[in-house]
Structures are given as C-alpha cells and as structure tokens.
Amino acid sequence: MQIEQINQPEKPIGAHAAANVTIDEASEGQRIDNFLAKVLKGVPKSHIYRILRSGEVRVNKGRIDASYKLLIGDIVRVPPIRIAANDKELLENQTNQPAKSVLESTIIFEDDALLIIDKPAGFAVHGGSGVSRGVIEQLRMERPKAKFLELVHRLDRETSGVLMLAKKRAALVALHEMIRNNQTDKRYLMLVAGEWTDQKKRVAMDLQKYVLPNGERRVNVVTDKSKDKYDQAQHSETIFYLKQAFAGFTLLEAQLITGRTHQLRVQLAHLGFPIVGDDKYGDFANNKALQKKGLKRMFLHSAETNLRHPISDDKLKLIAPLPQELQKFMNSLKKLES
C-alpha cells in the first residue's frame, strides 16, 4: 500500500520499491524508525511512523513498533513508498539558505570515525515536530555512500556550536560511554539578563519533563520532594563562570557536569538570570525589546568540547567561535568596570 498523497494535484516525484534489507554491523542496535529515515531518504518521519503502525514494515516477517532495535541478520521488509511534489518543497525550504552549502562549510574536524560541525542556529539536529529534515537527515542525503552516520548528542534548534556525529558504531558507543562517565568537557557561552556576581558557581537542580496541552515538551525544576512528584526527576549539575559583566547583562561560561534536556536554560531561568532571546523560558518582554536592538536569536552557543578521540585516544580540542551576530550584539552593550 502506498502512502496517501498530501495535496492535489498529485505529482509523485519519487518512489521506493519494496525491498528486503539484511542488517549488518553498520546498522546493528539502531532503532527501526531511525533506520528507515536513513534508508527512505526524503520521506517525512510522519509517513515512516504511519507505515510502522500499519504493519507494512516487517522484521523477520513479524510486526514491530518504532522502538525496536535491529540485530545483525535481521531481515527488514521496506514497503514501496511514494512522496508527493509538495513534500519535496517542504523538505527543500525549511531554511532561507541551502542546507548543503551551510553544513559543508561548518566542518570543524573529520576523520574516518568522527564528523564534527559548527551547527548554525535555526537548524534542528533531526526531523520531527514540524521539521521534516534536520542536520542528520541532510548529511545522510549528501553522503549516500556513508555506511554509518549518527548523532552523538543533541543541541536545541536555536543553539549554535560544536555538534558531534559518529561515522562508526564503535566510535558512537565509546563516546556515549565517555559522556555517561563525565569524560568529556563541554563549554557553552550564554548571555543572561541580570548582573551575575559570582566568579564561579556550581548549580545542582532536579529537573522533570512535562508536556503542554499543545504537545510541546518543556522542563521544570522539581521543588516538591513528595514521592509521586520526585520519582521522575533527573539530577542536573553545571558549573558557571563569569566571563564579562555588562549593564543589565552578564556573559557566562557553563561547564556541563550532566547533559539534561534544556538544562542550562531551565537552571538559569530558575535562578532569575534567563538567557536572552530564549523563547521558552526567557523574559518575553525583554526578548521583544532586544529584537529591536538586533538580537534575533537565543544567545546560547556550544563553544568548546575537549575529549579523547574514541578510537585513537588522541586529545581533541574542538572549538566553534562565537557567531558574528552574537559578537556584534555583545559589542553593542556597555561594559561594567571590573
């Protein structure tokens, strides 16, 4: 059964014939939904989840759900799929500039195991939530011969800076182990509203995810220690360093101890120093005023990551300079005397 066409007139621009794919080492351990997103290049994830729910995708002739993790030797039936012309336009027009040229120009480091880029603000790292193609889908499309390419971690869509991808499963597994054991040193720069005075401050909070009525995911600080409220909380920890003081603003550097969803944004907002430009947890009136002064995005940047190479064990110092638009805005602020 083919996927239903979205808009009229129907103008199919590409079709995938049914195929049986035998899983090898390159795809072992990958979730079936992510595997299909790589195999069915250009097909929106909503369509992929639809064919998974309908049972058109089979593994070893049996039905599976989206969370199934592939094993070596599994035989995956990939059904025929057709996408419409309007889908193609959606895929090609998610940003105002060609994704390929932007991403290829932001490579910080690459070898046979790793690909490190300086992700621009405005690019989602993966498709979903209204974004059909993110960084990972774009790079897979540009590199059709790549046997393996996976995100090591995530950055929020409006966060720029160092983003690590693995080109070998061994590198991915090793990096995940290093992150779990706090063997990587990730540094972020952010401009916050307010005059922060501590030269160094260690912040620990318990965070919990929740969902708004419209389906949007958010995070808050758990202050209620009762069991039913506290069971799902995750410990978060960051060390903040004061880098530069301004009238009404402060540039901070953050060293991540844990890497929870929206960790820096939620911690700082809870402390009363929201990141400027943050449209989820920030000061919305202040953000609107700052837009008129030239700040069009959230001032949060993954500036530096230090770690050992997961294969060679060489020291890596990965640096993404502060984007020009953030540097320009910061230069416009009045510095306070130290």
**Can you give the CATH number for the domain in which 25 is found?**
3.10.290.10
For residue 213, being part of any structural domain is answered with yes
State whether 189 and 323 are in the same domain.
Answer: yes
As a whole number of angstroms, the distance between CA 324 and CA 318 comes to: 18
Residue 205 pairs in a beta bridge with 236
As a whole number of angstroms, the distance between CA 270 and CA 154 comes to: 22
Q: State pLDDT tens for residues 169-224.
A: 999 999 999 999 999 999 999 999 999 999 999 999 999 988 888 777 889 999 87
Looking at 131, 157, 180, the residue that finishes a domain is: 180
**Can you give the CATH number for the domain in which 219 is found?**
3.30.2350.10
For residue 143, being part of any structural domain is answered with yes
State whether 230 and 299 are in the same domain.
Answer: yes
For residue 337, being part of any structural domain is answered with no
Q: What is the mean pLDDT of the chain?
A: 83
State whether 211 and 238 are in the same domain.
Answer: yes
The alpha carbons of the chain give a radius of gyration, in whole angstroms, of 22
State whether 146 and 174 are in the same domain.
Answer: yes
Looking at 114, 148, 180, the residue that finishes a domain is: 180
Total domains, the chain:
3
Task: Domain of residue 264: give its range.
Answer: 185-331
**Do 191 and 323 form a contact (C-beta atoms < 8 A)?**
no
State whether 116 and 83 are in the same domain.
Answer: no
Looking at 54, 88, 122, the residue that finishes a domain is: 88
Q: State pLDDT tens for residues 13-37.
A: 334 567 888 887 777 888 898 888 8
For residue 4, being part of any structural domain is answered with no
pLDDT at site 94: 40
Q: Is the pTM of this model over 0.75?
A: no
Report angle CA 98, 104, 108 to the nearest 5 degrees. 140
Active site residues: 156
State whether 172 and 191 are in the same domain.
Answer: no
